[in-house]
Chains A and B, each alone.
Chain A
C-alpha cells in the first residue's frame, strides 16, 4: 500500500561484515560475500566499556547503527530535539549467550546434576547480575535509544525478517499519522548466538544455503523532503495464506509461490505498479531465493536483482533493514530512480518495499 504522506529517508546506515556505513553498500553486495562477523573500530563502538557490558551483541550493533543514522541525518544537532524522535526496530531472540550461563550452571551442580537449592546458594553468586538485561528482546532497541536520548513513540517487534518490515512500516505510519515528525527504524540480530545457531543447524537450515551472520541497520525517516536520500513510497507485508501453526523453518518451494493467487503474487503486485530499474531480495533458502530472483527478473528490464542474503549471510532481524539501506544507496550513490526490496522471511511472510528518488 502507498502511504498517505510522503515519507523520506534522510540517512541509511548499516553495520555489517563489510564494515560500517551505507554509501557503497550495494556495490559491496554485488562484489562478493561479507565477513560473517562485524569488526568494530574502537572509535565507532557503542557507549563506554561499562555500558557495553550490559549489551548483547545485537544491542551493541543496533546502537552503532542508530547513532550513525541520527548523525548522518543531522537529527543530533540539538539533543533536546531528540525527545520527539520515534524509534521502531525489529529485534531478534539472540540476546543471551550461553557463555553467561556456563559459570552459573557449573556452580549449581551436585554430583553432576543441576540442583535448584545449590543454584540459589552458589549459582546466584556466579550469575552475571546483568543477565536479565541481555535476555530481554527489547534491549536491542533500548540501549541505542538511551545512548542517543530518543524520547518519541516506539516499538520493538520480534523479528526473523518480517517483524523488521513491520517496524519500518509502523515508523512510516507513525509519521503519516503525525505521531512524530522524525523516526529511526531498522533491525539488528546476531545469528551466531549459540542458541540461534543451534536452531538453524537443528532445522537443517545450514544445508539450505544459509550462512549465519550478524548485522544491524538503521534509517532516519522524516516527512520533510529537502536533503533526502530517497522516498519510501509503498510497502506491503503479505502473510502466508495459512499460518503453519509452528515456527519450524519455512522452506519456500517454487510450487507454493506460483502466481497468480499466492502471496508472492500479492507482494509482486506492488512492484508491478511501478517501473523499476533495480531490485534486491532476501530469502531463507537457496531455493526460495531462486524463486524470488526469477520473479523479480521478470519485472526488471535491464538489470539483475541483487541477492542480499547470498552476500550478507542470514542476519534474521537485520536482513530487511540492511536491504533497505542498500536500496537507498542504489538511489543516492548510483542514480537509480526506483528500487524494490523483496523479502521472504522464515516465518512465512513475504514483504515488498519500494523506494524512489526524492
Chain B
C-alpha cells in the first residue's frame, strides 16, 4: 500500500513583525527587520545587545510561560484555518521545544538559599527544596509542558510528542508528525515550534560561546556576518491526510548527524548534504524552485550550507532562489524550522519569495541565487527548508504544490 500523502491545511505565526502570519509575511516581503536593541532587561556589557523581540503585551498576557504565550495563539489560529473535523484519538500534537527558563532572579534566590557562595550546597538545597522550588513553576521549565498543554486545549488524544533537538527541533517535529500520518498513527497533527530565548541566561550562554554577532548584525551569507542574533516567536501548522482545500503537500523529510563537533559544522557539509538528499529522494525530486536556508549569519555555517547546496543541486541551483528569514527575525532556535517552513509555504501559495534581510554584500564563499531587498514574485512549485542544529543534527523538509 502506498504511504498516505500529507497535506498542509493551516499555518499561523506570531512574530516580532506581526501577530499573524499574513501581517508578518507582508512586512518581511517589504524587507522589514525586527532586529533591535534588547528591551525589557539591561544587557549592557553582554557580547550581543540586539535581538528580535515580540513587543509587549504578549498575545496571551496572562500566560506565565512565555513559550505558551507565543505558541498557543499561533496554534489556535492554524487549527481554525485547517477547518478539520477529526476524532480526538486521531489528532496528534508534535512540538519542537527546549526547556523553559526560570528568571535569573529566581535562580539567584535558589542559589542564595543553598548557601549563597560560589559553591552550590546540594545538601542544603535538598533539605529546602520543596519551599525553594515553588517559584520555579515546573510547568514553565519542562519542554513537554508546551505540547501537553496544546494537546489539552485541542482535546487531542493521539500521539503527543516533544522533540528537543536544538535548532532542528521544530523541523524534526514536523517530520515526526508527517511520519505519524503516513503510518496511520493519526489522521491530523498540530505541529510547529517556539523560540523564547531572548532572556539574559541564553544571551549570556550563546554570547560566551562566541555564537552571537558582536556587531549586532543578522545578515546571512553577507561578507560582514559574524554570528547570529537571537529572535523569538512561534510558528504552527496543521498537517492532515485529508487534502480538502490544501494547496501544498509535505512530501519529503531527511535527517542526519554531522558526528563532527558540538558547534562547528562538518567543513565538508556531508551531514547537511545527506539530510537534503534524503528529503529530495523521498519527494522524488532532484531540484526545487526555492530554498529557505538555515542561514544563521555565522561565518562557518553559512559557508558550509552554501557549499552543500551547490553540491546537492549543481547547476540546477542557478534556476532556484535562496533566502533566509533569520536576517529579519533572528534565530528562533527550537522554533526556527517551523518558521522556515512557513516561508516556503508562503512562496508556494502566494508566489512571493521572502528576501534575506540584512544581506547587502554577498560573501563570494556563499555565492547563491539570493533574494535581497524586497520579496520577489516567482512561480514556485517545490521548496526545500533546512534546519541544522548545534550538536550536528540536521533536518531538511521538502514541500510541493499539490497536483
Q: Are A114 and B163 closer than 8 Å at their CB atoms?
A: no
- Could you mark each residue 109-132 of chain B with 1 if its beta carbon is under 8 Å from any beta carbon of chain A, else 0? 011101111111010011001101
Q: Is A272 an interface residue (CB 8 A)?
A: no
Q: Are A146 and B392 closer than 8 Å at their CB atoms?
A: yes
Q: Is B179 an interface residue (CB 8 A)?
A: yes
Q: Is A303 an interface residue (CB 8 A)?
A: no
CB of B40 to closest CB in A, whole Å: 10
Q: Is A265 an interface residue (CB 8 A)?
A: no
Q: Is B148 an interface residue (CB 8 A)?
A: yes
**Residues of A with C-beta under 8 A to B46:** 120, 124
Q: Which residue from B111, B200, B209, B389 sits with its C-beta under 8 Å from A132?
A: B209
Q: Are A153 and B255 closer than 8 Å at their CB atoms?
A: yes
Q: Are A179 and B256 closer than 8 Å at their CB atoms?
A: no
CB of B335 to closest CB in A, whole Å: 14
- Could you mark each residue 166-185 of chain B with 1 if its beta carbon is under 8 Å from any beta carbon of chain A, else 0? 10010010001001000100
Q: Are A102 and B129 closer than 8 Å at their CB atoms?
A: no
CB of A151 to closest CB in B, whole Å: 5
Q: Is B202 an interface residue (CB 8 A)?
A: yes
A111-161 interface (Cβ within 8 A of B): 112, 114, 116-117, 119-121, 123-124, 126-133, 135-139, 141-143, 145-146, 148-158, 160
- Could you mark each residue 201-213 of chain B with 1 if its beta carbon is under 8 Å from any beta carbon of chain A, else 0? 1101111110000
**Residues of B with C-beta under 8 A to A126:** 118
Q: Which of A31-39, A242-250, A290-298 contacts B (4 or more CB under 8 A)?
A: A242-250
**Residues of A with C-beta under 8 A to B112:** 105, 112
Given contacts A98-B114, A133-B262, A153-B255, contact A83 B104 (CB under 8 A): no
Q: Are A145 and B117 closer than 8 Å at their CB atoms?
A: no
**Residues of A with C-beta under 8 A to B149:** 245-246
Docked Cα-Cα span, A154 to B169, in Å, equals: 11
CB of A234 to closest CB in B, whole Å: 14
Q: Which residue from B118, B163, B257 sits with its C-beta under 8 Å from A152?
A: B257
Q: Are B202 and A146 closer than 8 Å at their CB atoms?
A: no
Given contacts A102-B117, A198-B133, contact A152 B256 (CB under 8 A): yes
Q: Are A136 and B130 closer than 8 Å at their CB atoms?
A: no
**Residues of B with C-beta under 8 A to A139:** 262, 391
Q: Which residue from A131, A132, A155, A242 sits with its C-beta under 8 Å from B255?
A: A155
- Could you mark each residue 149-176 of chain A with 1 if its beta carbon is under 8 Å from any beta carbon of chain B, else 0? 1111111111010010010001001000
Q: Which residue from A91, A106, A152 sits with its C-beta under 8 Å from B117?
A: A106
Q: Is B165 an interface residue (CB 8 A)?
A: yes
Q: Are B257 and A120 closer than 8 Å at their CB atoms?
A: no
Docked Cα-Cα span, A157 to B274, in Å, equals: 22
Q: Are B208 and A127 closer than 8 Å at their CB atoms?
A: yes
Closest A-chain residue to B101, C-beta based? A135
Q: Are B163 and A158 closer than 8 Å at their CB atoms?
A: yes
Q: Are B258 and A247 closer than 8 Å at their CB atoms?
A: no
Docked Cα-Cα span, A214 to B136, in Å, equals: 23
Please, how many residues of chain B have a CB less than 8 angstroms from a CB on the other chain? 89
Closest B-chain residue to A4, C-beta based? B183
Q: Are A247 and B144 closer than 8 Å at their CB atoms?
A: yes
**Residues of A with C-beta under 8 A to B119:** 99, 102-103
Docked Cα-Cα span, A155 to B94, in Å, equals: 13
**Residues of B with C-beta under 8 A to A239:** 157-160
Q: Which residue from B132, B133, B136, B164 sits with its C-beta under 8 Å from A137?
A: B164
Q: Are A114 and B99 closer than 8 Å at their CB atoms?
A: no
Q: Are A101 and B120 closer than 8 Å at their CB atoms?
A: yes
**Residues of B with C-beta under 8 A to A195:** 133, 136, 141
Q: Is A339 an interface residue (CB 8 A)?
A: no
Q: Is A52 an interface residue (CB 8 A)?
A: no
Q: Are B148 and A202 closer than 8 Å at their CB atoms?
A: no
**Residues of A with C-beta under 8 A to B254:** 153
Most B-side CB within 10 Å, residue of A142, A163, A202:
A142
Closest B-chain residue to A129, C-beta based? B208
Docked Cα-Cα span, A117 to B44, in Å, equals: 6
**Residues of B with C-beta under 8 A to A145:** 257, 259, 392
List 4 tightest A-B contacts by C-beta distance, closest first.
A142-B391, A120-B45, A132-B205, A245-B152
Q: What are 16 A-B residue pairs whose CB atoms fall within 8 Å in the complex?
A: A83-B270, A83-B274, A95-B99, A116-B41, A124-B46, A131-B208, A136-B391, A142-B257, A146-B391, A151-B271, A151-B274, A154-B393, A194-B120, A195-B133, A199-B138, A246-B152
- Seen from chain B, the residues whose Cβ lies within 8 Å of a Cβ on chain A are 41-47, 97-99, 104-105, 107-108, 110-112, 114-120, 122, 125-126, 129-130, 132-134, 136, 138-139, 141-145, 148-149, 151-153, 155-166, 169, 172, 176, 179, 183, 200-202, 204-209, 254-262, 270-271, 274, 278, 389-393
Q: A124-B208, A131-B205 are in contact. List 19 more A-B contacts (CB 8 A).
A: A101-B120, A102-B115, A102-B119, A106-B111, A132-B202, A133-B262, A135-B99, A138-B164, A139-B391, A142-B262, A146-B258, A148-B259, A151-B271, A153-B278, A194-B125, A197-B129, A199-B141, A243-B152, A243-B157
